[in-house]
Amino acid sequence: MFNYDNLLNYVRGNAALAAKIQKLIIEELPKEMLKMEEALKNKEWEKVGSIAHKIKPNIQMCSKPSLYEFVLNLEKDGKNKNQTDTIPSRVEELKKNTEQLLVEMKENMASKAI
């Protein structure tokens, strides 16, 4: 789920900046996912889409293209209120994937002793 080489490419090979970005994503991504779940509970589809838009660049930076596409589609459907019956299961799937991403990021940081 986590692609360190992609992240390093984004920050032009700056390993220290990559480490800083990893720490921030580990802090911020769970908060955004909580907000998304809250929005889902209240059936605020546009807000779900808006939060998907916000986390999309971070996912693109450090994960695989398929996850980015998944978030992009969730963003579009949320904002346009399309296929709202599928949104709850998709948010649940995204939650599992982001949890896995964070586990791998933490393991990567631990292995680099950052």
Partner 1 sequence: MENKENEEQVISKRDGYVFVVDDDIVFLTMIEEEIKRFLPNAKVLSFKTGETCLENIQLNPFLILLDYNLSGDEKDSINGLRVLKEIKKSSPTTEVLMLSGIDDLKVVVSSMKYGAFDYIVKGENALNNLRSKIGHVVRKMRMQDDSVEKKQFNWFLKWITIGILVIASICYG
Q: Catalog residues that contact partner 1 under the rule CB under 8 A.
A: 6, 9-12, 14, 17, 20-21, 24-25, 28, 35, 50, 53-54, 56-58, 60-61
The residues with which 63 forms a beta bridge, in sequence order, are: 2
Select 56 or 90, whichever has its Cβ closest to partner 1. Answer: 56
Distance CA 87, CA 100 (A): 20
Give the three-state DSSP class for 105: helix
Select 25 or 40, whichever has its Cβ closest to partner 1. Answer: 25
Select 9 or 86, whichever has its Cβ closest to partner 1. Answer: 9
Closest approach, Cβ 24 to partner 1, in A, equals 5
Closest approach, Cβ 48 to partner 1, in A, equals 14
Phi/psi at 94 (5° precision): -65, -40
Phi/psi at 2 (5° precision): -95, 130
